[in-house]
Chain A
Amino acid sequence: MNRLTQNNTSAQHRFNLLTPLYALVFTAVALMALVPVLALVLGSLRDSPPGQPGSWTLENWANLASPGVIDTLLTTIQVACLTTFFSMILGTMLALIIHRTDFRWPNAMTGLLGLSFYFPSFILGMAWIVIGSPGGLINDLVRELFDAEANLDIYSVGGIVLVMVLHQVPFVYLTMRGPVLGMDPSYEEAARTAGASAFTMLRRVTLPMLSYALASSTLLCLVMSLEQFGIPVLLGIPGRVTVLATQIYLLCRFPPTAYGLAAAIGLTLAAITALAILLQRRLARGGQAVATTGKAGRITPIRLGAWRWPANIFCGGYILMGLIFPTIILLYTSLIKFFTGNPLTAAYTFRNYISIWESEGTQLATLNTLLVSGGGALVGVMLGAACSYFTVRLKPTGHRILDMLVMLPFGVPGVVLGLGLLWAYAYLPLPLYGTMTLIVLAYVTRFLPYATETAGARFVQLDRSLEEAAWTAGASRQTGVWRIVLPLSLPSLQSGYFLLFMAFFREISATILIFTASTSVLSVSIWSYFEQADWGMASALSILAMILMMGIMSTLLWAMPGARQR
């Protein structure tokens, strides 16, 4: 008898400690999710900056139809679609090659792709500017070696798409990996024994079987592309390629500012991404039963044969372009006084590193980053687990609303959320502006859905009868949670903590509009250095930040074995 599908109505009576907890969690999440969104809606109807005297107006919404905004919208869609298209193809190819063929180094590739996943987007963008800008390495090399003009320009739609693809391929790989590994091999075996070649089998059996996963992953990838902030801003502004996220940033940073219009644009962008997320969740729910069984592991790998070296080059090439080159480039720029294309004639110095080491500002930023990531992730996981328990297990009145509230920030891009928070908290009579609490709030709001998904998945898997056995043995509901549910969920809670920590560490789009002198974090410091075109400091700090990140990653994985499962 499938207890999991029964609606437990006994939950409606007697909460004891859990009722006030539920009320607290519900209120907290409601405020966190709704305040920025409502503030944006309000802001979009004002004709003056937040808090300054002005009047209500629909002009901002009318301005959405202006040629400038329409242009930006089209560019955004163009960039997002191209990026999604290529990322999906490359990412799925990687997943298939690594896990479906007799590729020789699957573990190494998985590890390296995992590392690439954590490479912050704007740092990748910075490195690629050095590589691909008109005065960058590639153009220089071509000029010196072949005495010709390559005219490669990374400040273009093509450049932006290239770097965004490099950034998003690991994500696609990671989302497709599970379905590829979990496929029931008998369908493919049937095709092979019926005489299909490897490619035919891939085309006519494997890919169709993965269609749900592919569709779901495509939508998520699309949302990521729409939300991207760092790369389009870095590469787009010099080349005058503007996407919606960039435009919001520009409208708030540079005079004459137009916060109202930014709010309207932000809401529009959020509406698009929210729609995509809704579609994706529908799909994910519907397609769960298809094609995945528990019989994974007996797959007969496809033999690569003549395709071995192309596959190796493909995999190696991605790692080079997405991970190794950028890191080397950054190392190089961090060690030179000013930019020279030729490493042999450059003036080397350690002063950037020394400067960072002595810099109080950087020390503060590092501390802030660790605080936000470590503490914020903890808050996020606890809140996420609590929400998940209420929406998946207890199901008290209003749990569906709670579910929706938690998911709401999922569809809101980081920079839009930051803008909403700027509007809201700069003017609410709460002393939150300029505090670390606000930054933590912003991060937790943005990433709460990740925590609830990780914890929630586990709660769903946890057999109901384990909890019921506790109740019939004399444990109250909350004792049951404390002694049975939590200990058994520990691995996925750890996994959630790890995920959140890493996400918080790299985050920039949500903070860029609300950080202040004392609440600066590492990503913002790097960004500031870059904005002032101080390449040396920006790359040195990037390198240090990445070393710090990898150190913390290893520590966390060592201390929390549960986090190793993805």
Chain B
Amino acid sequence: MTAFIEQGRRLWANRRERTLLRRTITLISSSIAATLLATSTFAQTDTAWKSVEDAAKKEGTVSLYHNLRPSGIEKLLSEFRKAYPGIKTEHMRLGSAPLIERFSTEFTAGRNLADVVITFPDETMLKGVDTGGWALQWTPPELAAFKPEINRGNKIFAVHTSRNVIIWNKQRVKPADAPKEWADLWDPKWKGKVAMDPPWRSIAVQGLIAHWSNIGLSDSAQKLKANDVRFFEGSAGVFQAVLRGDALVGTLADLPLEPGLVDGAPIGFVYPKSGTAINDGFVMVPAKAPHLNAGKLFANWIMSASGQTVLQEIGGLPATRPGITPPKFVPATSSLSNVVDSLVISSTAQQAKSINTWREVFGIR
């Protein structure tokens, strides 16, 4: 708020910018008004939904910010376009942390470009959603088919789940040597050959580390440093590293696992019995989305049965909607033991603390 007032004061001094400022204010106020109107009714009826569809078609385009696999996103978008011809799709793919960062920057600057966001949230995003006015509060028609846990304040909805998993290169690691538990990661026999995503870059890993503390595996940072762990970019990076043989074992959020196994990659995996941290990927329609109705349409579609099937297929993660056929290779979340939700087990303060510990141990910054 203060930033806006400051900016406004600065602008007012410059006569040239006044007209522009006037226009901007009109735009913002009208979109706020529109948003308020839209959220005044919490439940949308079917006829109300038809009007959303029509409005979306009039808007003609939807911009998706996401952290899904880049090679799958085109298929997802083309399926949406098949379902709703006449709506163009644009997308921007970034890792979950940079994505949230980018959204936050744009939101604060008043440059709203995203119509719908799919990502794994971190504390910044949760704060933004809960109290910062990031998300539109609404009820998608498809919500009725889901379990109530996936709904967070009618603002963001979990659409798929990623779980932290251990993988190894089947060609180079004998079955007897394969890791079974988290502690195997700092077994000296894998020194220099362990891969992971660093916690300051991945919310999933932050959850994992919190889980490790909870089950008594403390000092993970120091142990992994002693084992010369190598960091790679994102879960895909870890996957590729293990596949190539840059590392022989690794831990990652299991996004690339299913698609890789479908391709026939020689990767072994295990979800340790001591449990794993999971992360839900949520869909959010930004309150200030430039094409609000198109965004709502997309979000609703991704929660529909067809949308969820495609999402699972290209995203590689089990969808949250009940009744969808589970993925071929990786087990359903329900079949795993001791599953904990990252968002639940790691509070903001804890996350910050563990990140700092890791940063210190590895000498970052």
A and B assemble together: yes
Knowing A254-B97, A533-B232 are in contact, say whether A50-B109 is a contact too (CB < 8 A): yes
Q: What is the chain B residue whose CB lies nearest that of A137?
A: B244
Within 8 A of A (CB), among B12-64: 17, 20-21, 24, 63-64
Task: Tell me whether B71 and A355 are in contact (CB under 8 A).
Answer: yes
The verdict on A52 contacting chain B, using a C-beta distance below 8 Å, is: yes
Chain B residue total in the interface (Cβ 8 A) = 68
Q: Chain B, 96-125, contact with A by CB distance < 8 Å: what is the 0/1 string?
A: 011011001110110101100000001010
Task: Tell me whether B111 and A433 are in contact (CB under 8 A).
Answer: yes
A528 to B236 alpha-carbon distance, docked (Å): 12
Task: Tell me whether A360 and B239 are in contact (CB under 8 A).
Answer: no
Q: What is the chain B residue whose CB lies nearest that of A430?
A: B20
A352 to B71 alpha-carbon distance, docked (Å): 8
A414 to B324 alpha-carbon distance, docked (Å): 47
The verdict on B91 contacting chain A, using a C-beta distance below 8 Å, is: yes
The verdict on B260 contacting chain A, using a C-beta distance below 8 Å, is: yes
A133 to B98 alpha-carbon distance, docked (Å): 26
Task: Tell me whether A517 and B92 are in contact (CB under 8 A).
Answer: yes
A153 to B147 alpha-carbon distance, docked (Å): 48
The verdict on B365 contacting chain A, using a C-beta distance below 8 Å, is: yes
The verdict on B245 contacting chain A, using a C-beta distance below 8 Å, is: yes
Task: Tell me whether B70 and A537 are in contact (CB under 8 A).
Answer: yes
A558 to B20 alpha-carbon distance, docked (Å): 46
The verdict on A364 contacting chain B, using a C-beta distance below 8 Å, is: yes
The verdict on A68 contacting chain B, using a C-beta distance below 8 Å, is: yes
Q: Chain B, 247-268, contact with A by CB distance < 8 Å: what is the 0/1 string?
A: 1000000001000100111000
The verdict on A140 contacting chain B, using a C-beta distance below 8 Å, is: yes
Q: Give the residue among B89, B109, B232, B241 with the most A Cβ atoms within 10 A.
A: B109
What residues of chain B lie closer than 8 Å to A135, measured between beta carbons?
A: 241, 243-247
What residues of chain A lie closer than 8 Å to B93, measured between beta carbons?
A: 528, 532
A533 to B71 alpha-carbon distance, docked (Å): 10
Within 8 A of B (CB), among A506-542: 516-518, 520, 528-529, 531-537
Q: What is the chain A residue whose CB lies nearest that of B203?
A: A255
A238: contacting residue among B71, B231, B365, CB under 8 A: B231
B71: contacting residue among A136, A255, A257, A537, CB under 8 A: A537
A130 to B244 alpha-carbon distance, docked (Å): 8
Q: What is the chain A residue whose CB lies nearest that of B365?
A: A68
Task: Tell me whether A534 and B236 are in contact (CB under 8 A).
Answer: yes
The verdict on B69 contacting chain A, using a C-beta distance below 8 Å, is: yes
Q: What is the chain A residue whose CB lies nearest that of B259?
A: A338
Task: Tell me whether A338 and B265 are in contact (CB under 8 A).
Answer: yes
A531: contacting residue among B90, B97, B234, CB under 8 A: B234
Min CB gap B329→A, angstroms = 14
A66 to B71 alpha-carbon distance, docked (Å): 40
Within 8 A of B (CB), among A115-152: 130, 133-136, 139-140
What residues of chain B lie closer than 8 Å to A352, measured between beta carbons?
A: 71
What residues of chain A lie closer than 8 Å to B124, measured between beta carbons?
A: 255
Within 8 A of A (CB), among B63-85: 63-65, 69-71, 73-74, 77-78
Min CB gap B123→A, angstroms = 9
Task: Tell me whether B263 and A532 are in contact (CB under 8 A).
Answer: no
Knowing A531-B234, A534-B69 are in contact, say whether A339-B92 is a contact too (CB < 8 A): no
What residues of chain A lie closer than 8 Å to B73, measured between beta carbons?
A: 361
Chain A residue total in the interface (Cβ 8 A) = 60
A142 to B45 alpha-carbon distance, docked (Å): 67
Min CB gap B237→A, angstroms = 4
The verdict on A204 contacting chain B, using a C-beta distance below 8 Å, is: no
What residues of chain B lie closer than 8 Å to A517, measured between beta carbons?
A: 63-65, 90-92, 113-114
Min CB gap B21→A, angstroms = 6
The verdict on B321 contacting chain A, using a C-beta distance below 8 Å, is: no
A537 to B69 alpha-carbon distance, docked (Å): 11
Task: Tell me whether B230 and A50 are in contact (CB under 8 A).
Answer: no
Q: What is the chain A residue whose CB lies nearest that of B245?
A: A135
Q: What is the chain A residue whose CB lies nearest that of B362?
A: A240
Knowing A255-B124, A360-B74 are in contact, say whether A237-B233 is a contact too (CB < 8 A): yes
What residues of chain A lie closer than 8 Å to B21, measured between beta carbons?
A: 429
What residues of chain A lie closer than 8 Å to B352, measured between beta carbons?
A: 256
A239 to B113 alpha-carbon distance, docked (Å): 35
B74: contacting residue among A52, A66, A347, A355, CB under 8 A: A355
The verdict on A434 contacting chain B, using a C-beta distance below 8 Å, is: yes
A516: contacting residue among B17, B113, B122, B264, CB under 8 A: B113
The verdict on B143 contacting chain A, using a C-beta distance below 8 Å, is: no
Task: Tell me whether B233 and A339 are in contact (CB under 8 A).
Answer: no
A434 to B114 alpha-carbon distance, docked (Å): 11
Task: Tell me whether A238 and B108 are in contact (CB under 8 A).
Answer: no
The verdict on B344 contacting chain A, using a C-beta distance below 8 Å, is: no
The verdict on B227 contacting chain A, using a C-beta distance below 8 Å, is: no
Q: What is the chain A residue whose CB lies nearest that of B198?
A: A254
Q: What is the chain A residue whose CB lies nearest that of B123?
A: A255
A427 to B97 alpha-carbon distance, docked (Å): 22
A360: contacting residue among B89, B355, B363, CB under 8 A: B89
Q: What is the chain A residue whose CB lies nearest that of B21?
A: A429
What residues of chain B lie closer than 8 Å to A518, measured between beta carbons?
A: 63, 90, 113
B101: contacting residue among A136, A239, A254, A430, CB under 8 A: A254
Q: What is the chain A residue whose CB lies nearest that of B90?
A: A517
9 nearest A-B residue pairs (beta carbon)? A135-B245, A135-B244, A533-B236, A517-B92, A68-B365, A135-B246, A533-B240, A426-B109, A533-B237
User: Can you list 8 A-B pairs with a CB-CB distance of less than 8 A?
Assistant: A49-B105, A49-B108, A51-B3, A68-B364, A134-B245, A238-B230, A339-B244, A517-B63
* 7 additional A-B residue pairs with CB within 8 Å, beyond A347-B264, A429-B21, A537-B71: A50-B108, A253-B98, A253-B101, A254-B200, A338-B260, A518-B90, A532-B93
B residues touching A (Cβ–Cβ < 8 Å)? 2-3, 7, 11, 17, 20-21, 24, 63-65, 69-71, 73-74, 77-78, 88-95, 97-98, 100-101, 104-106, 108-109, 111, 113-114, 122, 124, 200-201, 230-234, 236-237, 239-241, 243-247, 256, 260, 263-265, 352, 355, 362-365
